[in-house]
Amino acid sequence: MKKEKYFGTKQIAITAILLAICIVSQVFKNLSVFITGPVINACLVLAVALVNLPCAIILSVITPLTAYFIAASPVMTAVPGILLLIMLGNIVLVVSTYFLLRKDFSEFKPELMYSLKSAVKAIICALLKAVFMGVTISLWLLPTFIPAESPLRNKMPVFQYTFSVVQFITALIGFVYFFIIFVAVKQYAKRNN
Q: What is the mean pLDDT of residues 96-102?
A: 94
C-alpha dist (Å) from residue 44 to 14, 16, 74, 159, 183: 11, 12, 25, 23, 16
Q: Residue 103 pLDDT > 70, yes or no?
A: yes
pLDDT tens digits along 51-90 = 999 999 999 999 999 999 998 888 888 899 999 999 999 9
Residues of the chain with pLDDT > 70, as a percent, come to: 94
pLDDT at 130: 98
Instruction: Mention every residue, 6+ apart, whose C-beta is less than 8 A from residue 30.
Output: 71
Give the mean pLDDT of the chain. 90
pLDDT at 3 exceeding the cut of 90: no
Other C-beta atoms within 10 Å of 56: how many? 26
Phi-psi region of 109 (alpha: psi -120 to 50; beta: other; left: phi over 0): beta
Using alpha carbons, list the distances in angstroms from residue 85 to 17, 23, 65, 81, 109.
Answer: 24, 19, 12, 7, 35
Task: Identify how many contiguous H helices and E strands the chain contains and give both numbers.
Answer: 10, 0
Distance, CA of 81 to CA of 85 (rounded, Å): 7
Hey, where are the domains in the chain? 9-191
CATH code of 9-191, in short, is 1.10.1760
Question: Can you tell me the distance from the alpha carbon of 158 to that of 180, in angstroms, rounded to the nearest whole number?
Answer: 31
**Residue 113 near residue 104 (C-beta atoms within 8 A):** yes
Residue 110 pLDDT class (50, 70, 90 cuts): low
Predicted confidence band of residue 18 (pLDDT cuts 50, 70, 90) = very high
Q: What is the pLDDT of residues 128-183, one digit of tens each?
A: 999 999 999 999 999 999 988 989 899 999 999 999 999 999 999 999 999 999 88
What is the reported pTM? 0.91
